[in-house]
Amino acid sequence: MIELILMPLAAFVIGLAMVLMMRRIGARLQRRVGPPLLQPLWDIIKLHGKETQTSHGLIHELGIVMAIGGFVAAVTLMPLPGMNGLAEQGGLIALVYMMMIPSLGLALGVGQCANPNGSIGISRALTAMLAYDIPMVIVVFGVAFFYGSTSLVQIIDAQQAGGFATWGIAEMPLLAFAGLFAMQAMLGKQPFEIYVAPAEIATGPMVEMGGKFLGGLFIMQCFQLYAAGALYTLLFLGGGENWLTFLIKVFAVVAIPMSIAFLFPRYRTEDVVRLVWKWPAMIGLLGIAFLMY
Amino acid sequence: MISDLAVPNLFVAQAGQLVLPVVLPLLAAFLMQPLARVSTALARGLGPLVLILCAWITAQLWIQLGDAPFTLAIGGFAPPLGILFYADGIALLFALAVPVFALLFWPGSESGGGAGADSRPGSDQADRDQAARRDALVLLLVAATTGLALSGDLFNLYVFYELAAVASFGLVALSGTGRAQVATFRYLMISAFGSVLALAGIAILYMQTGTLNLGQLAQLAPETLNNPIGSAAFALMLIGFGVKAELFPVNTWVPEVYAGAPARVSALLAGLVSKLAVLVIVRLLVLIFPQPEAAQMLLVLGVLGVLTGEFAAWRAKDFPRMLAFSSIGQLGIVFVAFSIGGEIGLLAGLAVALHHLIVKSALFGLAVRWNGSLEALAGAARTSPLGAALFVLFALSLVGVPPLPGFWAKLTVIVGLAERGTPLDITALMSILLVTAVEASYLFRVAIRLYQDNPDPVARHARRDLGVSALLGAVLVAATLGLRPVADVLGAGAAQLGDRAGYIETVFPSHVAGKD
Amino acid sequence: MTSLDHLVLVSALTLALMLLFGRMRIAGRLAVVLYAVQFLLLMQTGALLGEPVASSLTLSVLDLQMHWRYDALSWFFAMITIGAGFFCAWYAAGVWQERYREEGHSPRLFHVALAANVLTMLILLGSGDLLSLFIGWELVSWASFLLMAVGGGPAGRAALRYLVYAFSGGMAILAGLMLIYTQTGSLDYARVLSLLGELSDGQVWLLLLLIGGGFAVKMGLLPFHLWQAAAYAETPGPGSSFLGAISARMGLYALIMLLVAMLGIGRLTAMEVPFTFLSARDLIAWIAALTVIIPTYIALQQHDARYLLAWHGIGQGGYMLLGLMVGNAVGSAGGLFHVFTYGITQAALLMAVFAVVHRTGTADLNKLGGLVARMPLTFLVLLFGIISLAGLPPMAGFVSKWMVYRSLVAEGMPLLFVAAVVGTLGTILSVYKLIHNIFLGQLRIEHEQVREAPLSMLLPMLGLSTLIFLVGVTPGPALSWVAAVQASLGLPPVPYTLGGIEDPRGGLDMLWLVGILMAGFGVGALIFFGLGGRSKRVHQLDNYAGGHFLTADVRYQYSDNFYAGLMHLIGPWYRGAFLWLEKALTATVAFLSAVMNGFYRYAQPALFVLATAVALLALTTA
Amino acid sequence: MTELIKTPRTGETLPVKAGKRTNPLANVFDELVRFAQSRSLFMLHYCTGCGAIELPPSMTSRFDMERLGIQPMVSPRQADILLVTGYVSVKTLKRIILTYEQMGSPKYVIGICSCTVNGGMYWQSYATAKKLNDYMPVDIYIAGCMPRPEAVIAGLRELMENIRQGKADSWKDYYRHYDHYLGHQQRLFGETWQTPTDVIAEARHYGLFGPDTLGTHTALLEQHQRPLEALEMKVDIPELMARR
């Protein structure tokens, strides 16, 4: 039971560090110093400490609650070293769909803001989801099929059985590549960040979010980065034998899209779809073909 | 034969009454014109009176004589020579149906589908003459068609057939409009063509066998007519009698005539006269031409009729014309059914034919007021809810929706075709199924239109037309509920109809039995 | 009199009473009570777990015996049917019915149509042989037609289109039955079943084409899907809910009878599609998958809420068939279970949409918005519904879809799996558009005074929503029915628990999942409301617009062409190929019709004169 | 950097206090929040004039504001600082006020360039608002034409220091002396001037209501104010209402 409290907490802390890492990577790539160590935390505290905030109604507020809560629930489905949480009760497919709940919550909350910039952002975000989820489910299918199970615990056990040689990335390099590609889009980082587009639709979904609303989204971002990194680690990098290797893997995984992100401008929505349906999806299918035949 | 069974005199006398349903209307028709000069009321009353009498007589005969077939030699001359009336269940059924339907669709004051509120036409005398002529023609038609049902002799059949044709020409042309006259001319030409062919066919038969008595022909047929010449004769007669039966290539008069003629006349022609013509063809088929070529010919022409009729109806723009095309299609199914042969084929054919008799007559009854284009029918359900409901009922039955009788009739046809299962049959089966879908499409397009909103719908039905249709609708529903007994009766009728040996034995009771 | 007779008699009584008293105000409530009684009677039949219950009525026509009986499968579908009838009648019973009357329609006709639908469906579900199946099928078709057509106007046109499809399908089925009849000499299940094995593959293909095709029409399987959306969407409110919830599933029922009960998945797997590496089962599964995808993405383009949902209804049918075609315990259970979860979902969704129509008079997604402030409970219903329809936890739809996915993974069908997910993603996109354009965004001035849906409509909606949630949390009881159905069909029953599926290789326990989700929401609420400062609700026009001053008369809402970016890419993929096909068929019929018409119009009498002369000449020379 | 020019007001100016609470724990908490607020500033640069050109250098690699925790943001809802960079025309001012009111407190206004201080080279213009702090409370002015990035950063650092000390609460002034600011606004924009944000209601809601929140100008505002109340969610079931 204590696991269920510790897992989201760990996820949040790791997520904060990831946000920092992301901003630092960005700064270094632009030859800047970047934010101080606790900057993500200060941001969140500041936002929650706002004294006047505008709400557009109950759904606006509940949307944020759902966005945070969905991730809090979802991370308990991802086993950590020594902690299985609810991984036995849920499994991979349930996890993938649980991770859509925050998006749904956010979409509802944004919808009630009555700001078309937000709605456009959501429309683009959902379109992007349509794009990246296809390689994502191909990857999920491939892994689940390869290990003959949708239980993440069993998948990790199978990977850890023979060291690096039995890791997903060694067994299924094509799928691992497709997964990485899909993760880039899933995180909404450049070149796939059209739905935020600060200069044209005023950060899209976040346009009417201030104070604790934005703070909630910052928290959600921590979870999101963690979830993406952890999921990839669990599927392809053998999960965590111990905390040290787990953290190294998770950060390494997230560092890749971060580093790529700041080198690119962004694609238009339809180009996102076209690109993601073409390359990672095709590579993923090829990977599955190799697995099956 | 009945007399041989030494039945009481009274009974013989009653069998003799079989001639009355033919003779009485004929007499009345000739009396009509003089009578109209004496008393209009009497003349007007004469027709219905005679019809009721005919119906009563036929019904009496049927009830009292039961199901066994019997014959009546007119003037007492023995069968091969004399004129013979043959009455089995089916013949009596049709003989009964003729006066009943004629009564139901008695042209009356509203012939031509004029509005009920129309004032009487200007000239009283001319109008009265016209009414008398019309009544006479209807009576003539009744006499002729009853004769068709009962006659047991090919030449008489031909005569009655021609008589019916003449009467129907008159009736169709009655309204006197240009369209009606053109239609009549067309009808006349095709009929003439058909008559010639039929006559030619009869001539061939006579050349081959030397007799025109159906019973005797049936006896001789296996030896003399089971050859190409026989088949040719059948083809000629099929085409000839097919004109009235709306058989495929010679039915091109149908749409024009039904669209131009008064709706009640159309009801009689489409419902009744066509069925009697079919009956004639079936008698020929069963008794004289049992060879498979004949049935195949019928099947092919029937399928063509089904296809052309139903497809053509899909594009029909006005109500009577749509019914006319539909009628062609339905008769096509009748031919297909009869071509199956055997008890199931006859049963199927009878079922479809009787079903069509009821439904199509009733629909033409509705067409008395709905005689315009289909567009104009929009919203008619508001002024005439019962009429619309009846239309839906008849349409449902016509396309064959269980549990209405139409479904069972169609199912019987289809099962019959499937059981025989030659490629030709399967084609026919598929065609019927295909056009049924087309049929549903156009009929329910109209049904939907009836229930549309329209500020200016067509006028209401006259109470009489609606009553007739409602009555027929009630018959339909009753048949649905009493499916079992109806099926039994039809089955027995079909068995009798298909019983060639029985026919021969009835006509030539003693010596034939030994011979066969 | 068996318990089945009682059920059907009460159903017939409902119809009769509606015919007699449908005009009265009490009729709606009477109908609700009668449907409840039917439901209880159905429960009493015990057909689910016990022996099949036979009806004492038998008919024989043309030496073909007809009889009726209920087994677990019939029970399952009948349960949904009567339940849908119950909720829809309840929805219709109060204010809706009065409004319907005021608009110049006949509530009696509506109640009659609904009762006729329930009755005919019960008859169909009880069919004990192929002939009674066909008769039930036709009855259901015509009853649906009645319900679709009562709306008049565009509903009439849609109903007519349905009719042509359904009737053509019916005729194809009849042809197929004749094929069976000629081959086996009987239409009795048991006898046909014993002789079907002797049919050649070609004959089975023909059967699949004719009968399967006919049944597929009702289900809206590709390529017969065109009629359904308009027909269901234009039907008056509760009728639309009813049709959406269960009507098309009659097609599935019949397909199950054909594919699973009669032919069997094994036979289908053994049949190769010539010149391909597909088996018949794969082919049908792919048709199902395409049925998921194509209608779902057509739904994405709709801007009428009713049409959007109706198109989804077609797509969701694909999941059911897909699950059944996978054929293992979890997959077939998922397919069957989806019938139930989807039924309650779609009924609730359409009810919510029609409640909005009731209040605002429009279902046009470009003319609504912001109604959550005025109709919050309806919003809640729609929210539960879309979560379930999209197949997200914690609602009922998730469980059934999860089962379908799980089975596809287990059986190793990657492409079908991807296809199913593509459908789900499209569903998520379009249901978000639905809820956004109706309830979120800006409230229009003309809707400022809109009130919540009337209680009589709200209660059934909320009841269904509760059901959706409860089934999502504890799918166990409903899965026990599914397991019984599977057992009666000879499929391996699904290993279910109270909270989901037992599977050593990755199961599902909704109790835990929902528990943790609720706990997560609790944490979220704690962070948000506990740690965050005060906030103030502001007017919707106090909104960021790049410094622009917003006014109420200018719409500040994004609703039209909601997924513009996506449509930029996939827009050209909507070729309307099926519409084109349909038009081509219509044109063919029209052409044939013109030809036939021409024959009757131009066959000249002179021709006949000539022919006569020739004939006479020939005769005289002969 | 110039001193904030205080214009004469009708009421008393509230003394700026670093609010200390007696509870030491709460005090620590307040300190933490204030520190966080000072270390995390999101700015909305309202680029009205030439001063904007100096902002990119201060944000990018040479001066890198992010190391101070300062980031650009896009919408007023997200921002803490409103940067007004250059001359403010009357038309622009309307938007600036709208934007300012939409920001969540604590919020800070920084006037960059001389034009925001006294009109600068546009001081004769009929179409330019001269003193920004007539219309909204300004925390910091960074004078210069244009101020270099160093000056901008220096100004921001001063603001950060003020925030940390709890001195930068001029945003409260806007609520407490709303009548004063509204008066200036009305003089420029006319009597029917109204923003979508209901400042008075907010002042009431958050307990920021002061003696000078209402006055003659707000009375004028209320005469032609269109309703600004939020569309509250209503469960308005007719049947239940009737029964009640």
pLDDT digits (tens, 9 = 90+) for C411-445: 888 889 889 989 999 999 999 999 999 998 888 88
Is the per-residue pLDDT at B119 higher than 80? no
| pLDDT in the model for residue B126 | 65
C551 touches chain A (CB under 8 A): no
**By the 8 A CB rule, do B177 and B260 touch?**
yes
Contact B402 C597 (CB under 8 A): no
D110 compared with D235, residue with greater pLDDT: D110
Is the per-residue pLDDT at D16 higher than 70? no
Element (H, E) at D141: strand D140-142
Contact A35 D67 (CB under 8 A): yes
| pLDDT in the model for residue C566 | 87
Identity of the residue in D95, D196, D235 whose CB atom sits nearest the CB atom of C452? D235
**By the 8 A CB rule, do C182 and B419 touch?**
yes
Element (H, E) at A106: helix A100-112
From A27, which residue of chain D is nearest by alpha-carbon distance? D61
Task: Tell me whether residue D18 is in a domain.
Answer: no
- Per the structure block, which two tokens stand in for B437? 């879908």
**Other beta carbons less than 10 A from residue C122's beta carbon:** 27
**By the 8 A CB rule, do B202 and B217 touch?**
no
Q: Considering its fold, how many domains does chain D have in total?
A: 1
Residues in chain B with CB shorter than 8 Å from the CB of C609 are 189, 192-193
| pLDDT in the model for residue D21 | 67
Closest CA relative to residue D99, chosen from C388, A156, C415, C544: C544
From A213, which residue of chain D is nearest by alpha-carbon distance? D78
- Average pLDDT, stretch B146-162? 86
Identity of the residue in A52, A73, A77 whose CB atom sits nearest the CB atom of C536? A52
pLDDT band at C381 (very low <50, low <70, confident <90, very high): very high
Residues in chain C with CB shorter than 8 Å from the CB of D96 are 547
- Per the structure block, which two tokens stand in for C150? 């009562």
Distance in angstroms (rounded) separating the CA atoms of residues B129 and B37: 8
- Per the structure block, which two tokens stand in for C187? 């239409």
Is the per-residue pLDDT at B123 higher than 60? no
**Other beta carbons less than 10 A from residue C604's beta carbon:** 12
C443 touches chain D (CB under 8 A): yes
Which DSSP category does D120 fall into?
G
- Average pLDDT, stretch C502-520? 85
Alpha carbons within 13 angstroms on the beta-carbon side of residue C453 total 29
From C541, which residue of chain D is nearest by alpha-carbon distance? D196
Q: Which of C444, C537, C551 to mutate to test the interface with D (most CBs of D within 10 A)?
A: C537
Neighbours, chain C (3 or more CB pairs < 8 A): A, B, D
Contact D231 C543 (CB under 8 A): no
Closest CA relative to residue A139, chosen from A182, A100, A101: A182
**By the 8 A CB rule, do B168 and B269 touch?**
yes
Q: Is the dihedral of CA C293, C298, C301, C305 positive or negative?
A: negative
Task: Tell me whether residue B56 is in a domain.
Answer: yes
Identity of the residue in A51, A206, A208 whose CB atom sits nearest the CB atom of D206? A51
From C148, which residue of chain B is nearest by alpha-carbon distance? B448
B208 compared with D93, residue with greater pLDDT: D93
D233 touches chain C (CB under 8 A): yes
- Average pLDDT, stretch A163-185? 86
Contact of chains C and B by CB distance (3 or more pairs under 8 angstroms): yes
pLDDT tens, position by position, B281-319: 888 888 888 888 888 888 888 898 899 888 988 888 888
pTM score, two decimals? Answer: 0.88
Is the per-residue pLDDT at A78 higher than 60? yes
- Per the structure block, which two tokens stand in for C609? 């004169």
Residues in chain C with CB shorter than 8 Å from the CB of B419 are 181-182
| Angle, CA of B102, B108 and B114, to the nearest 5° | 120
Contact C542 D234 (CB under 8 A): no
Contact of chains C and D by CB distance (3 or more pairs under 8 angstroms): yes
Which DSSP category does A54 fall into?
E
Closest CA relative to residue C248, chosen from C168, C323, C175, C312: C312
pLDDT band at C353 (very low <50, low <70, confident <90, very high): very high
B81 compared with C430, residue with greater pLDDT: C430
Report residue A205 CA to chain centroid gap.
17
Is the per-residue pLDDT at C348 higher than 90? yes
CATH number, position D115: 3.40.50.12280
Distance in angstroms (rounded) separating the CA atoms of residues C359 and C378: 11
89-108 of D, contacting A, C-beta below 8 A? 102-106
Is the per-residue pLDDT at C621 higher than 80? no
- Nearest Cα of chain C lies from the Cα of D195 at a distance, in angstroms, of 8
- Average pLDDT, stretch C191-206? 82
Closest CA relative to residue D188, chosen from D113, D131, D112, D103: D131
pLDDT band at C86 (very low <50, low <70, confident <90, very high): very high
Distance in angstroms (rounded) separating the CA atoms of residues A192 and A275: 10
pLDDT tens, position by position, B428-449: 999 999 989 888 888 888 888 8
Q: Which of D78, D192, D205, D231 to mutate to test the interface with C (most CBs of C within 10 A)?
A: D231
| pLDDT in the model for residue D226 | 75
What is the ipTM for the molecules in this complex?
0.85
Is the per-residue pLDDT at A17 higher than 90? yes
C152 touches chain B (CB under 8 A): yes
Task: Tell me whether residue B119 is in a domain.
Answer: no
C62 touches chain B (CB under 8 A): yes
- Average pLDDT, stretch D17-46? 79
| pLDDT in the model for residue B108 | 65
Contact C596 B190 (CB under 8 A): no
Identity of the residue in A65, A108, A292 whose CB atom sits nearest the CB atom of C521? A65
Distance in angstroms (rounded) separating the CA atoms of residues B267 and B246: 14
Is the per-residue pLDDT at D138 higher than 80? yes
Contact C528 A86 (CB under 8 A): no
Establish, for the pair of chains A and C, how many residue pairs have beta carbons separated by less than 8 Å: 270
Strands (E), C437-539: 500-501, 508-509, 536-537
Identity of the residue in B254, B411, B419 whose CB atom sits nearest the CB atom of C182? B419
451-510 of C, contacting D, C-beta below 8 A? 451-456, 458
Is the per-residue pLDDT at D2 higher than 80? no
The bridge status of strand C508-509 relative to strand C500-501 is antiparallel
Distance in angstroms (rounded) separating the CA atoms of residues C572 and C574: 5
pLDDT tens, position by position, C101-128: 888 888 888 899 999 999 999 999 988 8
For the residues of A23-45, what is the DSSP string, one character each?
HHHHHHHTT-----TTHHHHHHH
- Average pLDDT, stretch D121-141? 86
Average pLDDT, chain C: 87
Q: What is the dihedral of CA C578, C582, C583, C584, to 10 degrees?
A: 100
Identity of the residue in D76, D205, D235 whose CB atom sits nearest the CB atom of C536? D205
pLDDT band at D242 (very low <50, low <70, confident <90, very high): low
| pLDDT in the model for residue C262 | 83
C575 touches chain D (CB under 8 A): no
- Average pLDDT, stretch D136-147? 87
Distance in angstroms (rounded) separating the CA atoms of residues C235 and B501: 59
| pLDDT in the model for residue C604 | 66
A53 Rama sector, left if φ>0, alpha if ψ -120 to 50, beta otherwise = beta
Q: Considering its fold, how many domains does chain B have in total?
A: 1
Is the per-residue pLDDT at C613 higher than 60? yes
Least confident interval from A98-112, A262-276, C263-277:
C263-277
Which DSSP category does D128 fall into?
E
- Average pLDDT, stretch C6-14? 89
**By the 8 A CB rule, do A45 and C533 touch?**
no
**By the 8 A CB rule, do D163 and D38 touch?**
yes
- The values of phi and psi at residue D46, to 5°, are -90, 95
| pLDDT in the model for residue D6 | 45
Contact C542 D227 (CB under 8 A): no
Contact of chains C and A by CB distance (3 or more pairs under 8 angstroms): yes
| pLDDT in the model for residue B76 | 63
Task: Tell me whether residue B51 is in a domain.
Answer: yes
From C500, which residue of chain A is nearest by alpha-carbon distance? A89
Distance in angstroms (rounded) separating the CA atoms of residues B21 and B150: 10
Contact D69 A52 (CB under 8 A): no
D56 touches chain A (CB under 8 A): no
Q: Is the dihedral of CA C472, C478, C480, C483 positive or negative?
A: negative
Residues 6+ apart with CB under 8 A from C298: C229, C311, C574
**By the 8 A CB rule, do D80 and A208 touch?**
no
- Per the structure block, which two tokens stand in for A189? 């980082």
Neighbours, chain D (3 or more CB pairs < 8 A): A, C
Is the per-residue pLDDT at C360 higher than 80? yes
What are the beta bridge partners of residue B84? B73
| pLDDT in the model for residue D4 | 39
**By the 8 A CB rule, do C220 and C291 touch?**
yes
pLDDT tens, position by position, C561-576: 888 888 888 888 888 8
Task: Tell me whether residue B372 is in a domain.
Answer: yes
Q: Which of D195, D208, D239 to mutate to test the interface with C (most CBs of C within 10 A)?
A: D239
From C403, which residue of chain A is nearest by alpha-carbon distance? A93
| pLDDT in the model for residue C386 | 92
Share of chain C above pLDDT 90, in %: 22
Task: Tell me whether residue D4 is in a domain.
Answer: no
Q: Which amino acid is at C301?
A: Q
pLDDT tens, position by position, B395-408: 999 888 888 888 88
Residues 6+ apart with CB under 8 A from B332: B248, B301, B302, B303, B304, B305, B306, B307, B308, B309
| pLDDT in the model for residue B80 | 66
C522 touches chain A (CB under 8 A): yes
Contact C414 A145 (CB under 8 A): yes
Task: Tell me whether residue D10 is in a domain.
Answer: no
- Average pLDDT, stretch C234-261? 88
* Highest-confidence segment of A151-155, B57-61, B511-515: A151-155
Is the per-residue pLDDT at D5 higher than 50? no
Closest CA relative to residue C97, chosen from C109, C81, C85: C109
pLDDT band at C616 (very low <50, low <70, confident <90, very high): low
pLDDT band at A162 (very low <50, low <70, confident <90, very high): confident
Distance in angstroms (rounded) separating the CA atoms of residues A80 and A87: 10
Q: Which residues of C364-393 are buried (b: 16+ CB within 10 A; e: fewer)?
A: bbebbbbbbbbbbbbbbbbbbbbbbbbbbb
How far CA A142 is from CA of A94, A150, B214, C399, C412, in Å, comes to: 16, 10, 82, 22, 9
C466 touches chain A (CB under 8 A): no
D132 Rama sector, left if φ>0, alpha if ψ -120 to 50, beta otherwise = alpha
B217 compared with C115, residue with greater pLDDT: C115
Distance in angstroms (rounded) separating the CA atoms of residues C421 and A194: 23
Residue B424 is part of which domain span? 3-112+125-515
| pLDDT in the model for residue C82 | 92
From C372, which residue of chain D is nearest by alpha-carbon distance? D233
Closest CA relative to residue C336, chosen from C73, C156, C1: C73
- The values of phi and psi at residue B348, to 5°, are -60, -45
From D44, which residue of chain C is nearest by alpha-carbon distance? C546
Contact C544 D202 (CB under 8 A): no
Task: Tell me whether residue B117 is in a domain.
Answer: no
| pLDDT in the model for residue D60 | 85
170-199 of D, contacting C, C-beta below 8 A? 195-198
Task: Tell me whether residue D13 is in a domain.
Answer: no
| pLDDT in the model for residue C289 | 92
Q: Which residues of C495-504 are buried (b: 16+ CB within 10 A; e: fewer)?
A: ebbebbbebe
Identity of the residue in C370, C455, C539 whose CB atom sits nearest the CB atom of D228? C539
Contact B307 C606 (CB under 8 A): no
C616 compared with B161, residue with greater pLDDT: B161
Distance in angstroms (rounded) separating the CA atoms of residues D66 and A26: 11
D64 Rama sector, left if φ>0, alpha if ψ -120 to 50, beta otherwise = left
Residues 6+ apart with CB under 8 A from A64: A105, A106, A109, A209, A212, A213, A216, A217, C524, C528
Is the per-residue pLDDT at C466 higher than 90? yes
Q: Which of B202, B229, B322, B411 to mutate to test the interface with C (most CBs of C within 10 A)?
A: B411
Distance in angstroms (rounded) separating the CA atoms of residues B307 and B335: 13
How far CA C19 is from CA of B94, C110, C113, C240, D18, in Å, comes to: 37, 10, 9, 20, 81
Neighbours, chain B (3 or more CB pairs < 8 A): C
Closest CA relative to residue C279, chosen from C292, C291, C266, C290: C266
Closest CA relative to residue D133, chosen from D152, D161, D108: D108
